[in-house]
Amino acid sequence: MKKTVISFLTAVLIIFIISSFFEKENADIKTKAGLGKKLFSEKILSKDSSVSCASCHIPKYAFADTVAFSIGIEGKLTTRNTPSVLNMKNRPYYFWDGRAASLEEQCLIPLQNPDEMGLPVDEAVKRLNESREYRILFQKIFNQDPNAKNLAAAFAAFEQTLETVDSKFDDWSNNLKKLTASEERGRELFVGDKAKCFDCHRMEDFTTDEFKNIGLYNGKDLNDAGLYNITKKETDLGKFKTPGLRNIAVTAPYMHNGMFKTMEEVVDYYNDPGKFVSNSINIDDALKKPLGLTDKEKKDIVAFLKTLTDKKYLRSKESLINGHLTLVYLMLSFYFGA
Amino acid sequence: MTLLEDLKVYRLAMEIGDLVFNITVKWDLFNKKSLGDQYLRAADSIALNIAEGYGRYHYKENKNFCWYARGSLFESKTANQKAFNRKLITEEEYNNLLNKLRECHLMLNSYIKSIGKPPPGKNDPMTND
């Protein structure tokens, strides 16, 4: 009898501790962005409750994925590489083919995509309304029960907070840090006429927000026509949005199809696209002739690109290494201790 | 708070304006009146707009003036190219100015991006959880 009472009291205590933890967590959610952040990791927004937005837009990898094609519900693969959702606030359109004109419009599309989260918006709203926790949160923030509009508004508000402006490059601009000799040479190449990077990656987030065909469309093995699928204009064949380059060092693999695993491969490709894809259709004029970069110059460009990484991602890389070292240390101590 | 004179991008923009002045002031009257005047006004406008934005009350106004500065920077690049095409400046002068304008462009981008942002780590909505 005594044992049963103790077990019961322990269970009650555990439930109390867990619920007070969640209540405290929810009490901290006071803004649309805060709610959007919680929803970003919410798996009930997928058909089988197996994935959330954060499953593919992994926060510690600059909100991108680490594989060419992400895994959606029921193990299905996405058809394009998951782009980072950082620095999206000032973009004029979203997705590789620009099919969404606002963050509010963009954020509900992956929810419904059968290869991604596979859940109709009405069903998502229904699930949120069935959750007491979410009803309270939506009431607190929007004065309304969850609906498609405020769900999109919460996501968009969160995504608008995901701006990064604390990289070594920014420190260089603010006279706080010097670039190494290689980074400096890379910077000069980046903005110069030889490498031509700056022609397309030249605004605050290193993109001009234009659609370009960089030669990764041949209508055969590379048959994603990109913008053409939306506009049906021949001139748009194989065009994709120019992605920003901030945090590019942590968002591998690269390109709309994730075909390059490293930045070195990407620079190699741009140096001579014809060496990789000989029969590309509608490639941009700027890429028709090889750039003629030397191996040293390619390394310098990569060195400069690495300076665009926000410090929080440098830290998370370091902490990952430290975490691994700690694990090895613990395993060794356990082994020798035993 | 950073002083205007401490901003690297402002100092470089000032240097560009002075460089262009020292070149265009030596041109003959026709070239001064046709291209020189506009080249100098564009080059001076970079620093002038950065300063005007800096002195405004709201960060959005500051950003707006920096976008004007970037427009002037593009104008200066074209004027530099025209001056070179018309053999008004040497190749060395052309390259020197072009490199400085490109450097200024990169810095200006970073500066625009930083306007209105809280200092890193403060109220940072992003966590790696």
B54 in reach of chain A (CB within 8 A)? no
Query: How far does the CA of residue A187 sit from the closest CA of chain B (Å)?
Result: 9
Which segment of A76-80, A252-256, A321-325 scores lowest on mean pLDDT? A321-325
Cβ pair B109:A202 closer than 8 A: yes
B120 in reach of chain A (CB within 8 A)? yes
Average pLDDT rounded to a whole number, residues A16-32: 70
Surface-to-core class of residue A154, CB atoms within 10 Å of its CB (0-12 exposed, 13-18 middle, 19+ buried): buried
A14 membership: H or E segment, kind and range: helix A2-27
Percent of chain A with pLDDT over 70: 86
Cβ contacts of B83 within 8 Å, gap of 6 or more = B23, B35, B39, B89, B94
B118 in reach of chain A (CB within 8 A)? no
Architecture of the domain delimited by B4-114: Up-down Bundle (1.20)
pLDDT of A2: 64
**pLDDT above 70 for B5:** yes
Residue to mutate among B113, B114, B123, B124, with most A CBs inside 10 A, is B113
Closest CA to A310 of A207, A175, A205, A159: A205
**To the nearest whole number, what is the mean pLDDT of chain B?**
91
A241 membership: H or E segment, kind and range: strand A240-241
Measured N-to-C along each axis, helices A295-306 and A263-271 cross at an angle, to the nearest 10 degrees, of 130
**pLDDT above 70 for A331:** no
Residues of B in contact with A60 (CB under 8 A): 128
B6 in reach of chain A (CB within 8 A)? yes
d(CA A104, CA A154): 9
Cβ pair A161:B126 closer than 8 A: yes
Query: How far does the CA of residue A136 sit from the closest CA of chain B (Å)?
Result: 22
Percent of chain A with pLDDT over 90: 83
Query: How far does the CA of residue B58 sit from the closest CA of chain A (Å)?
Result: 19
pLDDT of A323: 53
Q: Which tens digit of pLDDT belongs to each residue from A214-235?
A: 999 999 999 999 999 999 999 9
B113 in reach of chain A (CB within 8 A)? yes
Percent of chain B with pLDDT over 90: 82
| Predicted structure pTM score | 0.86
Query: DSSP secondary structure string, chain B?
Result: ---GGG-HHHHHHHHHHHHHHHHHTTS-HHHIIIIIHHHHHHHHHHHHHHHHHHHSSSHHHHHHHHHHHHHHHHHHHHHHHHHHHTTSS-HHHHHHHHHHHHHHHHHHHHHHHHTTPPPTTTT------
Cβ pair A191:B129 closer than 8 A: no
* pLDDT band at residue B117 under the 50/70/90 scheme: confident
Closest Cα in chain A to B74: A202
pLDDT of A337: 54
Average pLDDT rounded to a whole number, residues A241-251: 97
Residues of B in contact with A34 (CB under 8 A): 125
d(CA A68, CA A74): 18
pLDDT of A291: 97
Average pLDDT rounded to a whole number, residues A127-136: 96
Residues of A in contact with B107 (CB under 8 A): 173
Question: Domain A27-160's class?
Answer: mainly alpha
Average pLDDT rounded to a whole number, residues B75-99: 97
The CATH 1.10.760.10 domain(s) of chain A lie at 27-160, 168-312
d(CA A275, CA A304): 24
Cβ pair B102:A192 closer than 8 A: yes
**pLDDT above 70 for A203:** yes
Question: Domain A168-312's class?
Answer: mainly alpha
Cβ pair A312:B128 closer than 8 A: yes
d(CA A287, CA A214): 7
> Which of A165, A198, A202 lies closest to B117 in CB terms?
A165
Output A326 or A304, whichever has higher pLDDT.
A304
pLDDT of A19: 58
Closest Cα in chain B to A184: B103
pLDDT of A313: 92
pLDDT of A22: 55
B95 in reach of chain A (CB within 8 A)? no
pLDDT of A18: 57
Residue to mutate among B70, B111, B126, B129, with most A CBs inside 10 A, is B126
Residues of B in contact with A198 (CB under 8 A): 102, 105
Q: Which tens digit of pLDDT belongs to each residue from A83-100?
A: 999 999 989 999 999 999
Residue to mutate among B67, B123, B124, B128, with most A CBs inside 10 A, is B128
> Which of A37, A198, A311 lies closest to B125 in CB terms?
A37
